[in-house]
Structure 1
Amino acid sequence: MSRLLRSSLLLRSQLFPSPSIHHIRYATTSVAGLSPKEKKKAFSHTLKLPKTSFPLRHKDIVAAEKLQRRKTCDQLYQKQLASNPREAFVLHDGPPYANGHLHMGHALNKVLKDIINRYKVIRGHRVHYVPGWDTHGLPIEQKALAAIGKSHTSLTPSQVRAEARQVALSAIDVQKEEMRALGIMADWDHKDGTYRTLDHDFEIRQLQLFQTMIQKELIQYRLRPVYYSPSSRTALAEAELEYRDGHKSHSVYVSFPVQEEDMSEGLRAIYSRHKSGSSGVDLAIWTTTPWTLPGNSGVAVHENLTYNVVRNDHGRLLVIANDRVADLQRIFGHLTVVGSLPGSSLVGSRYTHIFHPPSSPSPKPQIFAGGHVTAGTGTGLVHSAPAHGHEDYVAFKNAGILPDKLRCPVDDAGCFTDELMSWVEDEKFRALVGKAVLGEGTKTMVELLRGEGVLLGDEIIEHRYPYDWKSKQPIIMRATPQWFADVEHIKDDALDALKAVHFHPPQARKRLEAFVLSRNEWCISRQRSWGVPIPVLFDSHGDPVTDADALAHVIQVMKSKGTDHWWSGPVDDFVPPSRKGERLSKGVDTLDVWFDSGSSWTLLRDSKIRDPELPLADVYLEGSDQHRGWFQSSLLTKVTSTSDRRAPYGTVITHGFVMDEKGDKMSKSAGNGLSPMEIIHGLGDSPAYGADTLRLWAASVDYTCDASIGPSSISHASETLRRLRNTARFLLANTSEHEEVSLEDVELRAIDRYVLHQLHDLELVALAGYDSYTFNKVVNALSTFAVSTLSTLYFDIVKDTLYCEKLDSPARLATVAVLQTVLKRMIQIMAPIIPHLAEELYQNIDALEDSSAFLGTWEPSDAWSDPALQKDVGYLLAIKPLVSQLVEEARAAKHVKMSSETELWIAASDISHTVLSRHANLLQSLFGVSRVTLGTDPSSRESLASVDAEIDDARVSLKLLPSSQHQCPRCWLYQSEIVDHLCARCASVVV
């Protein structure tokens, strides 16, 4: 006996047990004489109604999802890595910062990665995914210091590091559990299953990378102006800046006097004709940073601009650009031009200023040519302080006049130092010392300028200004000795490497290329304790010792004793044998955290999990801000340190930020903050939605742009999940008591084959969506299939077959086979996005201990494709709304209550008639009427409603009539020939 027949007989025996008095009473095809209530129940026991233990909803969704997590998250990673047959797929995790709880940006990022990984698993790949954490840097250090109520200056570096380490490790524990709550598949329980930038092996690989770049002369130690954060007391890379509009600065116009003997020939010629008792001319300069004036070492002009010597109302002679005269009269008053000369004729003139008085023993600063000068703003003469501006520094260097010692009287706190007193004679300038250059120092400076009579004008302006992206405070430019990675000489290689990289969205390529192009160097040193120490000793002259022997020895000591030993151990431990006896000292700087995370690709290099001809990682996926951060630092460190000069990634995927439903940035203080754990677990009056709802939201949005989230979007995702669950529940309830029915063993009807064709189309759309990382297309297609193809169409048609046909009837077995197939494929399609629901459904099909929805390989079946049938059914579905319209007219006129009380006549043209005839057996159930007849009604019966229409350029006429038959008391269809008697079909089943 076949398994299929055995299953059918078993079910039939359950439905129709041996006769009893109760059943004998109804062993008839008539309900005549019974009360209406008895009529309704007379044959209910003969129906095969849906039955399943699968709940419509869970009372505790969080607990329910946690039950699935063992198979679908915790154990799955190791199982798939060991057993999946296809080649490895590597998604390398950009490490989130180990500080605080996960926010919505983290949730979006982790879920998107997990969707990709799960899709690759279900397609048979061995997925390599090691979640990481970025554990060094200022915010963690500051949080540690705040927790113990002390400043870093009152603690040793070792004490700071110990406290910071605990903060980072505690945050990792919190975030790890929150990632598990999101349903992220990874090896969470084993040490090698995750990585941390504070891990010993990670730090040593990073130091070895630094050593390689030193040996290639791609890292140098130089005194250069750098972005400096007084609030954080450390240098910053450009990637660590936020530019804010609306920053207010006190701008000033200041005069720098030029004596006749210091004038260029061209300037002296004009002055000699118009001096009128003047003791010289004044260079009019403009700056938005008056605190940088002590560092002035020159004034830049453009050689090709025209400059005027003008006289103001006080008889003072000023030099300004010709194009600025009209605008500057608003500040300087009426100006009379007395002479003009090109900028090239000003070059070489020397001048003084209040911080470089005539009595100074140093050479007077001079005017020099600079290609960066414009006449769009200011005066056309640019105050230049090479210690306070990269552009100024480069201009001085290009002109060959860079001072041996840069003037930079600003300390680590961003306050004036008493160094400036060595340049002036008047004690009143001491009022500047100790004051913050961005605060009281600027105010005092303006008053000193006014008191000295050199302030030509001042005003408050609003403009775009860089801020420290961590402390949210404005930064300054300040010359300090720092370690720099040379980007200028490798940017061409980096750009070439990007040519082989795929970007999603495509426009992300230009953004990353632009960041690389605009960068010539990268400041990789930081003045904090919590980080990877730069492994360099300094000699007695303050010069770094970077020979291969010294670096190798220092790194070997740290490999043996840990990086903490750099701070706690004696310097002698790190002195190589070849330098014993020399007076050496340890550096106190640490590596930029972007150098930390940017070296994480070395994990993949050493794991050797894939073909060396392929990129180390298939995918890097992070937020769009990482074009200037991790994407770039990973590219630069990889290209500079390896011989193949390839990017570490094959595909770069970027997502936008998560905003509230109004498009505003979310924050707790603004009252619009929303955390992923609040969505999953619920908070206050807000229900617990569980992880699958949040994951479905993440998959539904166009993440390449900024994504919005809030109560309505989460509610919408929850409703979509509910519909998918209900659809799947119907599939389970009508198949759960059957053993598997093969499609090859049944005769499929047209509607069955149509649903399989639609399922095939869904698979193709889903596969394309997953492969192109457009997950919203998968969600839309799956939801549409569940609602439109299944719930609204197929389920409505086959309910009669499922509930009323014989268990072993060909039609019912065919329907069960289709439902089983659809359920299995829907589980595979939804599994990457909503794994908890997928696994719960799968366990209702296969409850074996080692089974999982993710351990089978999803392969689409082209055998189900039937475009011709799709075209036919498409035509029939175009008629369906017309039928519904007629039924509604009849119902409105109170002729009928439901469509099954009617029958339909359809008259159509030859081609349309052929399609209708070909699918005549489908029409009655498709249109929901008791009978469909093709042709023109020959009777004289008055129709309930009628309509003529044109579909696909063919005419069709529909006529709705009252049914000439009676309602069957079992199936409730109007198919009975006699009142209160079973229809022929039901009679054959019951008797």
Structure 2
Amino acid sequence: MPSFIRPPTFLPRFNACRRFATPASSSTGILQARFATTKANDPAQSKKKAYSHTLKLPKTAFPLKHKDVVAAEKRYRSKTCDELYRQQYDESPDPLFVLHDGPPYANGHLHMGHALNKVIKDIINRYNVIRGRRVHYIPGWDCHGLPIEQKALAAIGKLHTSLTPDQVRAQARQVALDAIDIQKTEMRALGVMADWDSEKRTYRTLDHDFEIRQLRLFQAMVQKGFVTHRLRPVYYSPSSRTALAEAELEYKDGHRSRSVYVSLPVQEDDMSDALKEIYDSVKEQDGRDLSLVIWTTTPWSLPGNSGVAVHNDMEYVVTSNGQGRLFVLASERKEAMEKLMGPLKVVGELKGSQLVGTQYNHIFHPPSSPLPKPIVFAAGHVTSQTGTGLVHSAPAHGYEDYVAFNEAGIMLEKLRCPIDDDGKFTEELVSWAGAGDESVSSLVGKEVLGKGTDAMVDLLRERGVLLAEETIEHRYPYDWKSKKPIIIRATPQWFADVEHIKEDALAALEEVYFHPAQARKRLEAFVLSRSEWCISRQRSWGVPIPALFDSAGQPLMTPDVLEHVISVLDAKGVDYWWTGPVEEFVPPVHKGQQITKGFDTLDVWFDSGSSWTMLREANLRPRSFPLADVYLEGSDQHRGWFQSSLLTKIIGTDDRKAPYGTVITHGFVMDEEGEKMSKSAGNGLSPMEIIHGLEDSPAYGADVLRLWAASVDYTSDASIGPSSISHVNELLRRLRNTTRFLLANTSGQDKIFLEPSSLRIIDRYVLHELASLEVLVQEAYDGYNFSKAVHSISTFATSTLSTLYFDIIKDTLYCDPSNSTARNNVVGVLQHVLLRLVQMMAPIVPHLGEELYENMDGPKKSSVFLETWKPDQSWVDDYLKAEMETLLAIKPEVMKLVEEARSAKHIKTSSQAELFLQAQAGTPLDELLKRNSDMLSSLLGVSRVVLEKCSNDQAKPLSWSCNADTEIGSSRLSLALLPASHHQCPRCWLYTAEAEDRLCSRCSQVIT
């Protein structure tokens, strides 16, 4: 728990708001509260009450707590959200600040991650508004993709294959629009400033203009030669029936796989020279059955095997099992393999480079097969850490294998991929093995991640090539939406070339500020690890890839074709791609040819990643500036939106600049035990439940949730739950308490201009501390460190104001003459503090900020955020701060004496005593005490302070005295606490009256 939301370890002697009446109570409420322990007919107390009407008691309509906090906040919702955005953007001059909104997915209600994200963005925006900047913030929604399509299909109650694309798209569009309406209402409830009802000041990736800009970006990438179409292994989700990008994967630990060790028979005529030499030397004694040993955790991929990879420099051995069989494996893996296969005798040694060129029999090819045999080749990714040192390579099922084949210069007629869109084995297996192979035929139609794997292991065992089997638990990729495992499968896809712009992308990131700083390395690592980006998806709900294909199945991606197709879609809408005849999309130069349309859609990361194009189109600032000052999203967006925005910007434009100047990353929201929240686990908590409450929990309102978001270290995972929300609610109550005191004691007062020379040291000290606070808070906001801002504001409000200053100035405020310099100065200080404290708090708790501002006196603007905050450093005085801290160092020594007298039952309160102080004559402490003698009694909490040493003659007649000598700084100080020598004044309650039941001289002058 952050330290600033823990309950204080002390209770201040005065609660700033409990001493004055609520609006419904009488002006004597404060005195009634003070005498609550006495009898109503006590004559002495009646005399005291007689003066209550002469006191200048605090008055305000501002409540300490609202009975209905949701209704109270709603009063300011439109004013501080929609109206404020329009007013600040339309009427404020430059400078411009642009925070570009990463679009949340338009699916369902907001969760706590959304709330953290939107609140942090809004704090940044509101801070910039209150600093006088014009904020450009266009909230958006990501509207395409599989989850919305699946929800649409569920609503229709039919399978994807039984519907036309336009039917699916119409329903999916409605699902997205319905979700947007829900989320828009909930974002308003969070107090997020935006022009929510404006079509032009919000965006959706399904908007026609957005889609056309996206297609124009795709066109630019094609024209620059960065887009290709080919058969290549990609992440594929059988559960979603589409290709996936790396950003759409979730890696889960503990995935269980059946791993197998398989022998691949090598015929004598297919051996490399070095292997043949060893074989010839041992075949008579150790056997003629020689095999390569491979290991795989994906037995279903074995039909796609096209080769075995070895490392050129690795040591390999030919071993004998003593039963007539010879096995080739890495020397370093022999010991591990013996645990699975029994004793193995080394009968020959050779380097990996000497194995290259060896061919072997494919498991699924009959001896008479005309198909070429797979081959052993060298690859740099082979290691001896696991497996056998010989790597099963299926370029249709592994990108590393695909690259290795290309680098080795092995030309394959086609990629072997006998797996369909549902992740099931196809009839192609039978065409390889022959129609009579019933074992292979039985695989057809089985899911490769289910019964297909079991059947494959059985087939390996049946054919005598299964050497060993293990079930392992390991890290495995899952579809981030369906939450089911994926496979790697070769399919025709569209790819964006990343390899040739990596350096430009990394160079662009050098100009970007990252918060937290370590986020830079994470984004750079994702860019470095990527060579190309699969941008196509096999779904109906998305932006179409406007591809035409000729009769040979080759794409027609010329500038003229693209220009013609996109112009048709611009005129008739992208839905027309599915409903319009192909002839309308064929440009004149290709008329009469046999042309077909492709129906792949663009990756949703391409959708959201192209959102920067609307900033470029708006032409908000010179091209030398980043399009956006800030991009802010969760840590998962380093591989998602941050990366896709960077890549599309670098590929699609000539300026080679990142679209953002600053990237801010926040963590995930966990429960109070640090566990991921979910409804199924029973620890789910939604933002609206916190704001509006539940049957068994109160409604806290948006400001409490916002204060929580600002209080946590959002750059790492943040915890939330009933305990943390309760603590933050108490923090907000204390802030209301402090500001209520400020309001109540400045109400009805004209604006007071402060003259430094007339201020007491305590007044100037508070102004110094306020100025120092403004520096800290400004630095915190500028550095996106909002928890530091909250902590600094809370400490100032609690310690400097409530505990110190308010306690000292109460007597001056309530009892001094209205025209006294001291009182006017105090009121002026409170006015100065109030406005600036409200301005510093408002970006975090805007509803409270607007409410406080509304209750303040004097001319006001339509919103507190239009009252530009300009930190005032004119009151900074470090020398004065040191002097005040010297005076404050005396108070603990005085309180020791007070406690001593109280324990001896000499007094009940410190006001019943007076204090004698004497510092060494001529020392700085002595001079300091003399200069500030008029406020020492208020500071030290006694009725009177005498700056002289208490003599024995003075103390002897008294019933008691408490004495001490101490050192303050480098000066000695004598202290003596004595019974008050005067009587209690019935008006101010201080022991300063000359006679019993008589007013002190100050109070007498006030009421005369």
Please, what TM-score do these two structures have when normalized by structure 2? Answer: 0.94
CA distance in 2 between counterparts of 1:848 and 1:873 reads 34
Decide whether the 8 Å contact of 2:711 with 2:790 is kept in 1: yes
Tell me the secondary structure at the aligned position of residue 481 of structure 1: strand
AA at the equivalent of 1:970: R
CA distance in 1 between counterparts of 2:814 and 2:312 reads 93
Paired residues for 1:752-901 under 5 Å: 752-845=763-856, 851-901=862-912
CA distance in 2 between counterparts of 1:466 and 1:885 reads 67
The one of 918, 921, 928 equivalent to 2:941 is 928
Decide whether the 8 Å contact of 2:768 with 2:877 is kept in 1: yes
AA at the equivalent of 1:311: S
In structure 2, the residue matched to 1:319 is 328
In structure 2, the residue matched to 1:492 is 503
Q: 1:163-219: CA deviations, max 9, x gaps?
A: 110110000000000000000000112111100000000000000000000011111
In structure 1, the residue matched to 2:152 is 144
Asked if 1:477 corresponds to 2:485, the answer is no
In structure 1, the residue matched to 2:114 is 106
Paired residues for 1:300-311 under 5 Å: 300-311=309-320
Tell me the secondary structure at the aligned position of residue 726 of structure 1: helix
Tell me the secondary structure at the aligned position of residue 781 of structure 1: helix
The one of 449, 466, 469 equivalent to 1:438 is 449
AA at the equivalent of 1:321: A
Asked if 1:624 corresponds to 2:635, the answer is yes
CA distance in 2 between counterparts of 1:885 and 1:710 reads 41
CA distance in 2 between counterparts of 1:526 and 1:848 reads 59
In structure 1, the residue matched to 2:138 is 130
Decide whether the 8 Å contact of 1:623 with 1:657 is kept in 2: yes
Asked if 1:231 corresponds to 2:239, the answer is yes
Asked if 1:387 corresponds to 2:396, the answer is yes
CA distance in 1 between counterparts of 2:682 and 2:966 reads 56
The one of 336, 340, 361 equivalent to 2:349 is 340
Q: 1:505-553: CA deviations, max 9, x gaps?
A: 1111111111101111100000000000001111111111100000011
Tell me the secondary structure at the aligned position of residue 697 of structure 2: coil
CA distance in 2 between counterparts of 1:71 and 1:952 reads 53
The one of 150, 156, 161 equivalent to 2:164 is 156
Tell me the secondary structure at the aligned position of residue 617 of structure 2: helix
CA distance in 2 between counterparts of 1:354 and 1:194 reads 58
CA distance in 2 between counterparts of 1:461 and 1:955 reads 77
Tell me the secondary structure at the aligned position of residue 261 of structure 1: helix
CA distance in 2 between counterparts of 1:106 and 1:834 reads 18
Measured after TM superposition, the shift of residue 848 of structure 1 is 7.2
CA distance in 2 between counterparts of 1:243 and 1:136 reads 23
In structure 2, the residue matched to 1:747 is 758
Asked if 1:937 corresponds to 2:914, the answer is no
Count, aligned residues? 959
Paired residues for 1:472-621 under 5 Å: 472-621=483-632
Decide whether the 8 Å contact of 1:313 with 1:333 is kept in 2: no
Q: 1:107-153: CA deviations, max 9, x gaps?
A: 01101111111111011111000000000000111111112211111
AA at the equivalent of 1:908: A
Decide whether the 8 Å contact of 1:944 with 1:961 is kept in 2: yes
In structure 1, the residue matched to 2:429 is 420
AA at the equivalent of 1:813: N
Measured after TM superposition, the shift of residue 684 of structure 1 is 1.4
User: Any unmatched runs of 5+ in structure 2?
Assistant: 1-40
AA at the equivalent of 2:339: R
CA distance in 2 between counterparts of 1:693 and 1:572 reads 59
CA distance in 2 between counterparts of 1:636 and 1:188 reads 30
AA at the equivalent of 1:989: V
In structure 2, the residue matched to 1:11 is none
Measured after TM superposition, the shift of residue 935 of structure 1 is 3.2
Tell me the secondary structure at the aligned position of residue 797 of structure 1: helix
Tell me the secondary structure at the aligned position of residue 613 of structure 1: coil
Tell me the secondary structure at the aligned position of residue 621 of structure 1: strand
CA distance in 2 between counterparts of 1:546 and 1:34 reads 99
In structure 1, the residue matched to 2:51 is 43
CA distance in 2 between counterparts of 1:69 and 1:748 reads 40
CA distance in 2 between counterparts of 1:849 and 1:918 reads 39
In structure 1, the residue matched to 2:24 is none
The one of 960, 964, 967 equivalent to 1:950 is 967
Asked if 1:985 corresponds to 2:1002, the answer is yes
AA at the equivalent of 1:966: H
Please, what TM-score do these two structures have when normalized by structure 1? Answer: 0.95
CA distance in 2 between counterparts of 1:102 and 1:851 reads 30
Decide whether the 8 Å contact of 2:748 with 2:857 is kept in 1: no
CA distance in 1 between counterparts of 2:456 and 2:858 reads 78
In structure 2, the residue matched to 1:12 is none
CA distance in 1 between counterparts of 2:93 and 2:681 reads 50
In structure 2, the residue matched to 1:728 is 739
Q: 1:31-80: CA deviations, max 9, x gaps?
A: xx991231221211111111111111111111111111122111001111
Q: 1:978 to 1:809 in 2, by over 3 A?
A: same
Tell me the secondary structure at the aligned position of residue 743 of structure 1: coil
In structure 2, the residue matched to 1:973 is 990
Measured after TM superposition, the shift of residue 403 of structure 1 is 0.8
The one of 175, 181, 187 equivalent to 1:179 is 187
Decide whether the 8 Å contact of 1:697 with 1:717 is kept in 2: yes
Asked if 1:55 corresponds to 2:63, the answer is yes
AA at the equivalent of 1:622: E
Q: 1:168 to 1:848 in 2, by over 3 A?
A: farther
The one of 924, 946, 961 equivalent to 1:911 is 924
CA distance in 2 between counterparts of 1:405 and 1:718 reads 65
Decide whether the 8 Å contact of 2:760 with 2:932 is kept in 1: no
Decide whether the 8 Å contact of 2:544 with 2:601 is kept in 1: yes
Q: 1:359 to 1:44 in 2, by over 3 A?
A: same
Q: 1:574 to 1:848 in 2, by over 3 A?
A: farther
Q: 1:352 to 1:847 in 2, by over 3 A?
A: farther
Measured after TM superposition, the shift of residue 353 of structure 1 is 2.5
In structure 1, the residue matched to 2:17 is none
Q: Pairwise CA RMSD of aligned residues? A: 1.4
Decide whether the 8 Å contact of 2:288 with 2:325 is kept in 1: no
CA distance in 2 between counterparts of 1:971 and 1:610 reads 62
Measured after TM superposition, the shift of residue 887 of structure 1 is 1.1
Tell me the secondary structure at the aligned position of residue 191 of structure 1: coil
In structure 1, the residue matched to 2:30 is none
Decide whether the 8 Å contact of 1:284 with 1:379 is kept in 2: yes
Decide whether the 8 Å contact of 1:746 with 1:813 is kept in 2: no
CA distance in 2 between counterparts of 1:296 and 1:430 reads 18
Decide whether the 8 Å contact of 2:751 with 2:858 is kept in 1: no
Measured after TM superposition, the shift of residue 858 of structure 1 is 1.0
CA distance in 2 between counterparts of 1:528 and 1:706 reads 34
The one of 696, 702, 716 equivalent to 1:705 is 716
In structure 1, the residue matched to 2:13 is none
Tell me the secondary structure at the aligned position of residue 293 of structure 2: strand
Paired residues for 1:225-264 under 5 Å: 225-264=233-272
Decide whether the 8 Å contact of 2:914 with 2:977 is kept in 1: yes
Q: 1:887-908: CA deviations, max 9, x gaps?
A: 1221121110001011112233
Measured after TM superposition, the shift of residue 953 of structure 1 is 4.0
AA at the equivalent of 1:822: V
AA at the equivalent of 1:797: I
In structure 2, the residue matched to 1:641 is 652
- Which shifted more, 930-939 or 90-99? 930-939
Tell me the secondary structure at the aligned position of residue 314 of structure 1: coil
- Which shifted more, 839-848 or 494-503? 839-848
Q: 1:746 to 1:906 in 2, by over 3 A?
A: closer
